[in-house]
Amino acid sequence: MDSTRRERATLALAVWGVLVSQVLLYPGVSDLVTALGGGQGEYDLSAGMLFLVAEFASFVAFSSVWGALSDTLGRRTWLIVAGALGGAASYVALLALATLPWLDATFGAVLAVRFVGGAMTIGAFSLSITMLADLSGGNGRNMGAAGIAIGLGAALGSVVGGQLTTIDPLAPLYASAASLTAVALLVTTVTDRTPDSTRVGVGVVLKKLAARPAFAVPYAFGFIDRMTAGFFALVGVYYFREAFGVNAAVAGGVLALFFVPFALLQYPLGSLSDRVGRFVPVVAGSMLYGVAIVAVGVAPAFELAAALMVVVGVFGALVAPATMALVTDLAESGERGAALGGFNVFGSLGFLAGFLIGGVVADAVGYLPSFLVVGFAEVAIAVVALRAVKRLDGINATQTPSSAD
């Protein structure tokens, strides 16, 4: 295995480890927030929403900061290590808070720790993806490696997290801390391959991105795509547990039905987008993805709803790597950190929207309307941005994979 392939695999493992740490908490989030002093009942959607929103609000605030900082310093590796260790420490802090005798009064502190932990974790996540983008071999291939790592990490995290929750609601916190510590150790073995281009200040990079409106296209798709993921992470889990009466372990298994095909198809479909362009995967994929989401919400039986989660995963895998690759198609090598940081800001805003819109709609008028809102939003962005994606698709013609990779 040559150095590029080895480093691609190592960085993909780092992305995988971050996603494992994050998703371990999702299947049992209702049990976990209760154990940490939040919530008024088993299915208190608002408490779970606050717990997840605290972390993703921090993702929004700090994603582009890490990316632009790494571009300015010309370094990524040790920033990833610092972010991973900081995220691990936040999970240990949550465990410490859970031991306090006045637990009922500590949920505000829990949310504060989640915010700080999110600020650190997003550095490890965003910059690991950026280092993948720095490698040769084709943007679709590199983003496909990131996508498969994200999907497999989420798949394992959802299954293991659900199982751990049935043992102890706090058990996923131990596993998350261990996962991020392993990521920090792993990344120290990667050579820092930041491009040797002229570095500019953080403010200059952000102004440059603001002057490039073409980035709005993949950022908008990233926002909607991540909104659906946030929706399933919160509302989807509560929906399957409440509507069909399943426990955290089964709910985690249902999430895995989405994440496994989403993961396994990321690399081949990312490579496909290098050959056929971004237009069909992004636009057609988004339309099919949205329709499949609605289908899950209208399915009358658990077995059918669970089976449709596989379909959602397939269409999601068609969209995700092509959208991330479109960002790297548009970015100059020296601004990739900030460009992908900006993409992750919009993605994190999408997660927040999925939590907030999905949670509020489900709380106010029921689960089915929330599925309709989120699913048709995915269809709508494809229709609205169709011409813009077609216009930008030609940029991909200059991104030719190396036969050596």
- The model's confidence at residue 390, banded by pLDDT at 50, 70 and 90, is confident
Query: Which pLDDT value is given to residue 197?
Result: 47
pLDDT of 1-21, one tens digit each? 577 788 888 999 999 999 999
Q: What is the C-alpha to C-alpha distance for residues 217 and 2, in angstroms, rounded to an integer?
A: 35
- The model's confidence at residue 100, banded by pLDDT at 50, 70 and 90, is confident
- Do 223 and 175 share a structural domain? no
Expressed as residue numbers, the domain containing 344 is 201-397
- Do 213 and 157 share a structural domain? no
Radius of gyration over every alpha carbon of the chain, rounded to an integer in angstroms: 20
pLDDT of 188-232, one tens digit each? 998 886 654 444 444 544 565 566 778 888 888 989 988 998 899
Phi, psi (5° rounding) for residue 85?
-65, -40
- Do 209 and 180 share a structural domain? no
Residue 48 has pLDDT above 90, yes or no: no
Query: Which pLDDT value is given to residue 207?
Result: 61
Report the domain count for the chain: 2
Q: What is the C-alpha to C-alpha distance for residues 259 and 256, in angstroms, rounded to an integer?
A: 5
- Do 354 and 322 share a structural domain? yes
- The model's confidence at residue 400, banded by pLDDT at 50, 70 and 90, is very low
Residue 41 has pLDDT above 70, yes or no: no
pLDDT of 136-162, one tens digit each? 666 667 777 777 888 788 889 999 999
- Do 235 and 104 share a structural domain? no
- Do 186 and 47 share a structural domain? yes
Say what percent of the chain tops pLDDT 90.
Answer: 39
Q: What is the C-alpha to C-alpha distance for residues 56 and 58, in angstroms, rounded to an integer?
A: 5
Q: What is the C-alpha to C-alpha distance for residues 120 and 80, in angstroms, rounded to an integer?
A: 9
Mean per-residue pLDDT for 250-257?
A: 91
Mean per-residue pLDDT for 259-284?
A: 84
Between the CA of residue 3 and those of 7, 10, 123, 189, 193, what are the distances in Å? 6, 10, 24, 12, 11
- Do 217 and 173 share a structural domain? no
Total Cβ atoms within 10 A of residue 304: 12
Mean per-residue pLDDT for 120-127?
A: 91
Amino acid at 138: G
Query: Which pLDDT value is given to residue 322?
Result: 86
pLDDT of 358-387, one tens digit each? 988 988 888 999 999 999 999 999 999 888
At which of 133, 155, 190 does a domain end? 190
Q: State CA 40 to chain mean position distance.
A: 28
Mean per-residue pLDDT for 320-324?
A: 85
Query: Which pLDDT value is given to residue 105?
Result: 59
Mean per-residue pLDDT for 341-348?
A: 75
- Do 206 and 186 share a structural domain? no
Residue 295 has pLDDT above 50, yes or no: yes
CA-nearest of 22, 89, 91 to 56 is 22
Report the interhelical angle of 3-23 vs 139-167 (nearest 10°): 30
Of the listed ranges 6-15, 28-37, 60-69, 295-304, the least confidently predicted one is 60-69
Q: What is the CATH number of the domain that holds 46?
A: 1.20.1250.20
Query: Which pLDDT value is given to residue 337?
Result: 64
